[in-house]
A and B are shown apart, each in its own frame.
Chain A
């Protein structure tokens, strides 16, 4: 069966396109608690992440970068969902996100918890792009590890 570009609709969902066009939380933090650069060596996508922690809570977050629509939209979406969460909750969200990218259909409960990041679900069908969606989430873990290592 010959197919056109209609199949891409599953990948480029409106929420994702919106975040790519207008990325959220891009203002640099004045005094970040933690800061990391993440680069995908295979494609050169870049994410620069700053975290401001208030105790164990993510009080502010900023993501900027350069790269494809998936990597940049995923970064923007991440800032919305992680903002205000505890570091433990943020780590748990990363696990859920990773499961969505690599595993089976997500349950309604997981879908709720991932909020708008659920729009990245379609990336699963394009395996080579999964690493684009995961880049900012790896950056988050690196940023957390620097200041608030995972609790045993």
Chain B
């Protein structure tokens, strides 16, 4: 590990055209990065380059454009592979997003390997996309879904995990970092527990891969899912990593062009990995732009990205302590906590807060964060969330805190806070 250097945030910000935008008369303060990140010129330009210079279908033609497009598309796969230290490019499957990656596993591996009486273990801090596919699978198969609870201080209850993962467990599906609490889960420990009982582990890494060094081999996970749009890349493209030995025997899900080896009117055989899981013309442009996003993050260094976010989150935690009536969700200490601060207000609904902050040019997330069971387990119906990334500054945290104070003054005067 190289020594951590500070990010040059000023020059990073210069790469993001959107950050000069005015919203309601103020400079945009973009603090909704856990929903989606902004995109640097380098990523936007890679999309333009593709469409202007070598737009063509992949894996088909013998003409120059098709060869260039295929090379760039596969090159991007290689970048993603190295970024998460996957063992081979064939273990990287392009999908539409994290949700599709998770559903792919639910409809292929799990469909073939989970039976009545089996158990699926997930956690109390999952996004809906890592709960609902397993609920549906459990219903289809007559399997049982078990939930590892959250501790009082916002961590995953690893003692309960040890009890819940049993000989009947077929798959453990866990987040790597909660999109609401910011909690970083000890995936390696869960992977060891899963493997000890012959189960596989699937990791929803939508919130971790963009923000910290992630090594699928060190974590020893069998599947990992994430989206490009939360890591400077475009929307509409995601990744499923699968352990090669598992992918090799996993049945295909969608059928069509590119995923076949040979087709007759009666039958078909399947192409090699990873194409077996990429039916039809893929999202070529966005895959290439994902490669550009990975280049951008690699140049910064993921250790540095994580260090920057730890610093800004620590600063924000300190400043939040000044606020009255605001209750932070999740871990209150910086250790193993990502750059996500969710909070509720004693009397104000998050939407009212969010509308007020928007008037001040501040973009935060409000609502249930696609994690209704988690939000309700905290005895609330909605929360506000500020989440940070490489271009955010402590000065922006100050803007947020001042904005929250101003909103509180406004609603207090209105008699509802």
Contact = CB atoms under 8 A, between A and B. Distances in A.
Interface of A: 1-5, 7-8, 11-12, 17, 20-21, 42-46, 66-70, 126, 128-129, 132
B172 to A, nearest CB: 28
Given A2-B26, A69-B349, A69-B352, A44 B382 contact: yes
A108 B414 CA distance: 28
A43 B366 contact: yes
B359 A7 contact: yes
Contacts of A5: 356, 359-360, 406-407, 410
B410 to A, nearest CB: 4
Interface string B194-219: 00000000000000000000000000
A8 B359 contact: yes
A20 B372 CA distance: 24
Nearest to B22: A2
Interface of B: 24-26, 349-352, 355-356, 359-360, 366-368, 372, 375, 381-382, 406-407, 410-411, 414-416
10 contacts: A2-B26, A8-B359, A11-B355, A12-B414, A12-B416, A43-B366, A43-B382, A44-B381, A45-B351, A68-B351
Contacts of A17: 414-416
A70 B351 contact: yes
Contact of A4 (B355, B359, B366): B359
B382 A3 contact: no
Contacts of B411: 12
A97 B267 CA distance: 58
A58 to B, nearest CB: 28
A44 B411 CA distance: 21
Contacts of B25: 1-3
A43 B360 CA distance: 21
Scoring A5, A70, A129 by chain B CB atoms within 10 A of each residue's CB, the highest score goes to: A5
Contact of A46 (B360, B366, B381, B406): B381
Given A2-B25, A2-B26, A3-B24, A44 B355 contact: no
Contacts of B382: 43-45, 67-68
A11 B358 CA distance: 13
A70 B366 CA distance: 15
Contacts of B372: 44
Contacts of A70: 351-352
A44 B375 contact: yes
Given A2-B26, A67-B349, 11 more contacts: A4-B360, A4-B406, A11-B355, A43-B367, A43-B368, A45-B351, A46-B381, A67-B382, A68-B351, A69-B349, A129-B351
Contacts of B406: 4-5
B134 to A, nearest CB: 20
Contacts of B356: 5, 8
Nearest to B353: A68
B351 A43 contact: yes
Contact of B352 (A2, A21, A68, A128): A68
A88 B350 CA distance: 36
Contacts of B368: 43-44
A72 B351 CA distance: 12
A45 B366 CA distance: 12
A42 to B, nearest CB: 7
Nearest to B376: A44
B410 A68 contact: no
Contacts of A69: 349, 352, 416
A67 B410 CA distance: 19
Contacts of B360: 4-5
Contacts of A66: 381
A3 B403 CA distance: 12
B345 to A, nearest CB: 11
Contacts of A20: 416
B48 to A, nearest CB: 30
B355 to A, nearest CB: 6
A136 B351 CA distance: 17
A43 B349 CA distance: 11
Contacts of A7: 24, 359
Given A43-B366, A67-B381, A8 B416 contact: no
A28 B407 CA distance: 34
A69 B416 CA distance: 9
A42 B349 CA distance: 14
A8 B349 contact: no
Contacts of A8: 355-356, 359, 410
Contact of B349 (A2, A11, A12, A68): A68
A108 B404 CA distance: 38
Contacts of A4: 359-360, 406
Contacts of A43: 351, 366-368, 382
A8 B360 CA distance: 11
Scoring A12, A68, A132 by chain B CB atoms within 10 A of each residue's CB, the highest score goes to: A68
List 5 A-B pairs, minimum CB-CB distance, nearest first: A68-B349, A68-B351, A44-B368, A43-B367, A2-B25
A129 B25 CA distance: 20
Contact of A21 (B24, B349, B410, B415): B415
B359 A42 contact: no
